Amino acid sequence: MGNFFTDNDDLRFVLNNMDLRGLSSLTEQGYKFADKFDYAPASAEEAIQNYNMVMESLGQLCSDFIAPRSEEMDRQGNTLTEDGRVERPEAMDEILDKLAKADVMGMTLPYRFGGLNFPTTILSVANEMISRADASLMNIFGLQGIAETINSFASEEIKQEYLHDLAAGRKTGAMVLTEPDAGSDLQVCKVKAFQDSSGQWYLHGVKRFITNGCGEVLLVMARSEHDRKDGLGLSLFVCHSGPTVKIRRIEDKMGIHASPTCEIYFDNTPCKLIGETRRGLVTYVMALMNGARIGISAQSVGIGEAAYRVARDYAASREQFGGPIEHLPAVRDMVVEMKIDVEESRALLYETCRVVDMEIGLTRITESDDFSKEEQKDAKKQLRMIKRYAAMLTPMSKYLSTEMSNKVAYDSIQVLAGSGFMRDYPTEQYYRDARITTIYEGTTQLQIVACVRGVCNGTAQKYIEELADFQFDPELQEMLDILKQNRETMDECIKHIKQQSMEYMDLYGRRIVDIAIKIICGYLFCRQASGAADMEIPTAKEGETVSMKKRKAVIAKRYINRNAAVIKALAEQILQGDKSTFEDYEEIAGPVPELV
Amino acid sequence: MAYKCIVLIKQVPDTSRITGEAMNEDGTVNRGALPAIFNPEDLNALELALEIKEKYGGSVTAVTMGLPSASEVLREALFMGADDAVLVTDRRCAASDTLATSYILTRAAEKIGCDLVLCGRQAIDGDTAQVGPQMAEKLDMPQITYVEEVHELTPSRIVCRRNMGNGWQRTACKLPVLLTVTDQANEPRIGAARRIMKYKNAKTPAEISKEGGSDEDIREMKNKGLLIGQLNLDDVQADLQWCGRDGSPTKVHRIMSVVLTAKESKEVDSSAQGINDMVHELIEDHTIG
Amino acid sequence: MIEVNRQGEVWVFAEQHLGKVEDIAFELLGRARELADKLGVKVGAVIAGDSIKSVCEELIQYGADKVYTVENNLLEHYQTNSYTKVLCALIEKHKPQIVLYGASPVGRDLAPRVASKMKAGLTADCTDLQIGNHEIKKTGEKHENLLLQIRPAFGGNIIATIINYDRWPQMATVREGVMPMPEPDSKRKGEVIDESVSLSAEDLPIEIIEEVRREKSVNLKASRIIVAGGAGVGSKENFRMIWDLANALGGVPAATRAAADLGYIGKDYQVGQTGTTVRPSLYIAIGLSGAIQHQAGMSESKKIIAVNNDPDAPIFDVAHYKVCGDLNEVVPQMIKAVKEKV
């Protein structure tokens, strides 16, 4: 029997070093729910115990029940029956049943709907473990954001109608946004929403690429203002699946085979409006997407973890040239890079979760009558910066983790070489599954656009200043000095970019974002190396252990030293200001080729 | 119709993790060096009972006999969905063999009362598969061993599919009945989050007292539904001559370790003599023969 | 329970299905014969069923001095309660000192029920039975000529010897296939004793609605002993040796992916990354190099014997017994040694 929670030292270390007391106090609003619900915690200790126990239990399910079924589900995929039903792989139904019985389908929902009132941080731990077991499953499990959106913006009547079923896992949901002509550019959505004389809303039109579109609860973005062609003409609706919701096809995909991707035709489907009209895209879907991006970031960390583990195991046991291949410098270096890449993404993921949970918690304080004017004022003040940090870190984390999962899955196959290319090992599935992560919930290029403004408008600099304000271990001074120089380099680049055009900022966006990420993660590693909670973990040498903090200091050193040169190179490119991409595109790209 | 199910569970050392280090010098197992776990097939029995409850209605009471620390598996049973949990614990239970154990658990089951008794086919520490049938005899119930599925359940009749090793049987009988359940029956669920959050605080009276709690505290825990039942041999009116060492006809004569210490290996000469010696050694240590 | 009865016979419960005695009963008779000779008592076989007269002679040929038969159409199919009643009635009447059952699904269903009703001791799943003495260290009390009931416990990590010196009969279930089948002796004479036990519908609480028996298909996971061959075995014909050794040991054959791909044996027998994962008490790896993919499926076996002519074969890294030599010589020698000793 294994356990994807207890066997993951880095995950537990990161979690132990987060301020879970403060976090739980925010989400539990001073532990006031304990009086009303016998399972709500009465103290920080109890809340933290709950998080750990539930994650440990889920970790076991992931390891012993879900992971062994992943290959079978990947091979089976989903099928669309003649009468328009989607048949999931058998194992998927069994797994969803187990998850429902485990009460984890409404992790972040309030107690009153049967939820666990867990913070986003803990949902991310769950998403990471689930994805390590089976990336496709996360696409259904992780759709808990739909319930969150309903909870945040819908009327009490709609909440009562939908949330109990979602929390209990009796129903699953889908975010129904994309259309054949509206992918990244959602504001051109065409699906129509209209009202009859009694005021009842209906939906009409086609949505495409809908993950779990066969789910029972559909959150649909549609055009309610027929005179407006932009994002302000869009509203958000919720409806049940039924005879007027027709699954027309399911996609034949490269990866995540067990996650059904549907095309849906709404044939005058009755629905209900969420919140107010015209705020669908600009407010509600933006919030929904931010949550989903954190989910995909966690999914990617899970895939990366799984891919790393197979490679690490193989490198130690595969013998060539008279010894295990991990003795070969080239393989050894790949293994180390993969491990650090996974830990880098994880560090940024949970830091992002921390900030997002702060945002959610503080927002609740400003909206609740339980707090004094003074407290609310204080919360509002804090919120101002926290919101900007969250808006920058969320796409940053999504970008970093998803690119990481692709690189690590790629290298994992490389370590296994021929065997990794064969279906005997799971690496090729990780590779195929990872591929979508940089695409859905906003492509890497869109994530860069979403965070580059934050990087260039001073938010990143302010945030990094806060990160640097920490009681670091004195041994790290040399590293902190390097990071300080890196920050000066970043300041210089930002200054240069701002003197150029917006177009230039987007052209060099990825480079400046990379610089920011490397500085942020450098500080995060240093913080981990200076954290309060340490643990002893085994090393690769049999019988030897190492303190996690010391290990993180080693990683911080390597990471910061190696990246100093990378940051320098990126900065040179930014400052050099090559514009041939714009100016010489026609010559370089040549005519559009004919595809035979 | 609501069926009252008793599920017998056992806390066992995780024998799948035995290494040379878990063995004492005299060849006995150092139980302390092994993690204590929920006996795997008892999880299948509990899962089956919970499925029966969900499908047909009723209640599930988890019962274990063991040390006070066995309350741990009872909490796990509560996490999974058991309505009640009862620990049968008494120093005088020590050294009970399967016969004495079945006697004590029978007394407990009679005190609690039930329509169905379920237990795992066997426990991984002893692999005897005896306590279930021995209890069925004492409870004067029919038994259906090696159950892998319950096809039908009415107040007067249960139909099960049994795994007979070289085939299967579909059998039926009246209630009450005792079932032993195999690992083929189902995949046990994990604890439900809300139940974990609530019942992590469940305790036996002994545990509450040990932490300095008063009778008042015990009553309060009971009111909150967080008290794990606890029975001793007097509570179940057991006749002591059938309990513990006195009640156990089988005794241990000798224990021998067969675990090879790490990396212990031998080069065997490929001559007839070498092969004969190796085969002889394997017969000696009961690996073959 | 019955009192200690030194003159009591050694009994075997002869399990039968549709009038055919199961192999385990003959295996038990072989050992019962040895035990009884040591004790200077007779061997009794107990058989219950509908028409069973025809098989009594067979039981005598395999070593029984007496065959107790209980014939009744209500006993046609095995049922826990009715068979328990029969066994208990006969035990009380004849007071045997030892009763042996097969550790088959039937034996393991019946024996504990009988033990519970008799309030007697029972040891499950023995792999060996001997006669020996026991001294209680504390009191110095000595018990001679007891049944030593030897069995693995704790997942096969220890071997326990169990005794029962006061509440008799001494009873044990014995694992199938661990005791050699004796050669039948057609000249042996014995006595067939008809017994009757009154039965009513109450003794048959179970209704058997449907029953399917199938020839044992391969179950690698449940096997204590596995003999695996690799591509090095050379040919399908040569693979016969793997079967022979497995049969001699009461184990099952298995193969690497390469050997299965070459068609030496069916895919069901494949151990490794893409086959079954096994952890038997004994794994004999023959003519296989031990690629990681194969090791992943067997490295947790309790004991591993590797036979290979390449001293650098990776399989030797995980083997407890390393036999470096030509498998065409080593394997026949192993078969011979096993047949002689066991």
Structure-token pair, residue B63: 């019962």
Q: What pLDDT, on a 0 to 100 scale, did the predictor assign at position C30? A: 94
Q: What pLDDT, on a 0 to 100 scale, did the predictor assign at position A102? A: 97
With beta carbons under 8 A apart, name residues in chain A contacting B196.
Answer: 50, 53-54, 57
A97-138 tens-digit pLDDT = 999 999 999 999 999 999 999 999 999 999 999 999 999 999
Sketch the domain layout of chain B as residue ranges. 3-247
Determine whether domain B3-247 maps to CATH 3.40.50.620.
yes
- The span from the CA of B70 to the CA of B123, in Å, is 15
Q: What pLDDT, on a 0 to 100 scale, did the predictor assign at position B216? A: 95
H helix intervals, A368-458 = 373-416, 418-421, 427-435, 444-456
CATH 3.40.50.620 range(s) for chain C read 10-135+142-203
Structure-token pair, residue B231: 């029975």
Residues in chain A: 596
B198-221 tens-digit pLDDT = 999 999 999 999 999 999 999 999
Determine which of B21, B166, B184 to mutate to test the interface with C (most C C-beta atoms within 10 Å): B166
Confidence band of A327 (pLDDT split at 50, 70, 90) = very high
Indicate yes or no: CB of C314 within 8 angstroms of CB of A314.
Answer: no
A283-313 tens-digit pLDDT = 999 999 999 999 999 999 999 999 999 999 9
Q: For residue C129, is pLDDT > 50?
A: yes
C62-75 tens-digit pLDDT = 999 999 999 999 99
Q: Which of residues 8-67 of C touch B (CB under 8 A)?
A: none
B162-188 tens-digit pLDDT = 998 778 999 999 999 999 999 999 999
Q: For residue C321, is pLDDT > 50?
A: yes
Question: Three-state DSSP class for C311?
Answer: coil
Sketch the domain layout of chain A as residue ranges. 1-171, 172-278, 280-442, 444-584
Confidence band of B125 (pLDDT split at 50, 70, 90) = confident
Q: Please, which chains are in contact with A (at least 3 CB pairs closer than 8 A)?
A: B, C
Least Cα separation, residue A425 to chain C (angstroms)? 8
Least Cα separation, residue C167 to chain B (angstroms)? 6
With beta carbons under 8 A apart, name residues in chain C contacting B34.
Answer: none
Average pLDDT for A439-447: 96
Nearest chain B residue to A111 by CA: give it: B194
Q: What pLDDT, on a 0 to 100 scale, did the predictor assign at position C158? A: 78
Indicate yes or no: CB of A424 within 8 angstroms of CB of C314.
Answer: no
Question: Three-state DSSP class for A389?
Answer: helix
Pick the CATH number of A280-442 from 1.20.140.10, 2.60.40.10, 3.40.630.30, 1.10.760.10: 1.20.140.10
- The percent of residues above 90 in pLDDT, for chain A, comes to 94
Tell whether B262 is within 8 A of chain A (Cβ): no
Q: Could you give the count of Cα atoms lying within 13 Å of C242 in the half-sphere of its Cβ?
A: 30
- The span from the CA of A449 to the CA of A510, in Å, is 9
Least Cα separation, residue A287 to chain B (angstroms)? 27
Residue C305: name the closest of C229, C198, C232, C196 by CA. C229
List the binding residues of C for FAD: 256-257, 270-274, 287-294, 308
- State the DSSP code for A283: I
With beta carbons under 8 A apart, name residues in chain B contacting C208.
Answer: 169-171
For chain A, the average pLDDT equals 96
H-helix or E-strand spanning residue A489: helix A477-499
Nearest CB partner across the interface for B224, out of A38, A94, A114: A38
Least Cα separation, residue C274 to chain A (angstroms)? 6
With beta carbons under 8 A apart, name residues in chain C contacting B275.
Answer: 323, 330, 333-334, 337
Phi and psi dihedrals of C277, rounded to 5? -100, 130
With beta carbons under 8 A apart, name residues in chain A contacting B81.
Answer: 101
**What is the fold of A1-171?**
Butyryl-Coa Dehydrogenase, subunit A; domain 1 (1.10.540)
C25-56 tens-digit pLDDT = 999 999 999 999 999 999 999 999 998 989 99
CATH 3.40.50.1220 range(s) for chain C read 225-341
Q: Which residue has the tokens 């990825």?
A: A510
C115, C122 in Cβ contact below 8 A? yes
Q: A89 preceded by cis ω (within 30°)?
A: no
Q: What pLDDT, on a 0 to 100 scale, did the predictor assign at position C292? A: 74
With beta carbons under 8 A apart, name residues in chain C contacting A324.
Answer: none
Residue B274: name the closest of C322, C315, C290 by CA. C322
Q: Residue A129's Cα: distance from chain center in Å? A: 13
Q: What would be the CATH architecture of the domain defined by A444-584?
A: Up-down Bundle (1.20)
Confidence band of A23 (pLDDT split at 50, 70, 90) = very high
- CA dihedral (A551, A555, A556, A561) in degrees, to 10, reads 140
A370, A29 in Cβ contact below 8 A? yes
- Give DSSP secondary structure letters for C231-279: GGG-STTTTHHHHHHHHHHT-EEEE-HHHHHTTSS-GGGBBSTTSB---
Identify the burial level of A580 via C-beta atoms within 10 angstroms of its C-beta, where 0-12 means exposed, 13-18 middle and 19 or more buried: exposed
Nearest chain B residue to A53 by CA: give it: B196
Q: Please, which chains are in contact with B (at least 3 CB pairs closer than 8 A)?
A: A, C
Q: Residue B51's Cα: distance from chain center in Å? A: 19
Residue B145: name the closest of C75, C80, C78, C114 by CA. C80
Q: Which of residues 66-95 of C touch B (CB under 8 A)?
A: 80-81, 84
CATH superfamily of C10-135+142-203: HUPs (3.40.50.620)
Tell whether B288 is within 8 A of chain A (Cβ): no
Average pLDDT for A46-58: 98
B19-73 tens-digit pLDDT = 656 666 655 667 777 889 999 999 999 999 999 999 999 999 999 999 999 999 9
Measured from the Cβ of residue A369, the count of other Cβ atoms closer than 10 Å reads 5
- The span from the CA of C267 to the CA of C276, in Å, is 10
Q: What pLDDT, on a 0 to 100 scale, did the predictor assign at position A571? A: 98
Q: What pLDDT, on a 0 to 100 scale, did the predictor assign at position B261? A: 42
A264, A248 in Cβ contact below 8 A? yes
Nearest CB partner across the interface for C157, out of B18, B129, B174: B18
Q: Please, which chains are in contact with C (at least 3 CB pairs closer than 8 A)?
A: A, B
Which residues share a beta bridge with C276? C271
Residues in chain C: 342
C301-313 tens-digit pLDDT = 889 999 999 888 8
Q: What pLDDT, on a 0 to 100 scale, did the predictor assign at position C273? A: 64
User: In what order do the strands lie in the sheet containing C282-286?
Assistant: B266-268, C321-324, C303-308, C282-286, C225-229, C252-255
- CA dihedral (B138, B143, B146, B152) in degrees, to 10, reads -140
Q: What pLDDT, on a 0 to 100 scale, did the predictor assign at position C128? A: 87
Indicate yes or no: CB of A318 within 8 angstroms of CB of C274.
Answer: no
First to last CA, chain C: 34
Average pLDDT for C111-127: 95
Confidence band of C275 (pLDDT split at 50, 70, 90) = low
Confidence band of B262 (pLDDT split at 50, 70, 90) = very low
Measured from the Cβ of residue A156, the count of other Cβ atoms closer than 10 Å reads 7
The dihedral through the CA atoms of C290, C292, C296, C297 has a sign that is negative
Q: What would be the CATH architecture of the domain defined by A172-278?
A: Beta Barrel (2.40)
Structure-token pair, residue A358: 């702060």
Q: For residue B129, is pLDDT > 90?
A: yes
User: CA separation (Å) from A323 to A315, A316, A326, C272, C324?
Assistant: 10, 9, 8, 22, 21
Q: What pLDDT, on a 0 to 100 scale, did the predictor assign at position B20? A: 57
Nearest chain A residue to B50 by CA: give it: A101
Least Cα separation, residue B207 to chain C (angstroms)? 29
Which residues does A64 contact at the CB level (< 8 Å), separation at least 6? A1, A2
Least Cα separation, residue C32 to chain B (angstroms)? 16
Average pLDDT for A467-491: 97
H-helix or E-strand spanning residue C108: helix C105-118
Pick the CATH number of C225-341 from 3.40.50.150, 3.30.2310.20, 3.40.50.1220, 3.40.980.10: 3.40.50.1220
- The span from the CA of A251 to the CA of A214, in Å, is 12
Which residues does C97 contact at the CB level (< 8 Å), separation at least 6? C4, C5, C6, C7, C8, C9, C10, C39, C41, C147, C168, C169, C170
With beta carbons under 8 A apart, name residues in chain B contacting A164.
Answer: none
Average pLDDT for B242-256: 92
Q: What pLDDT, on a 0 to 100 scale, did the predictor assign at position B260? A: 44
C145-178 tens-digit pLDDT = 999 999 888 766 778 899 999 999 999 999 876 7
Average pLDDT for C74-82: 95
Which residues share a beta bridge with B203? B227
With beta carbons under 8 A apart, name residues in chain B contacting C226.
Answer: none
**Lowest mean pLDDT, pick from A326-335, B118-127, C220-229:** C220-229
Measured from the Cβ of residue B151, the count of other Cβ atoms closer than 10 Å reads 12
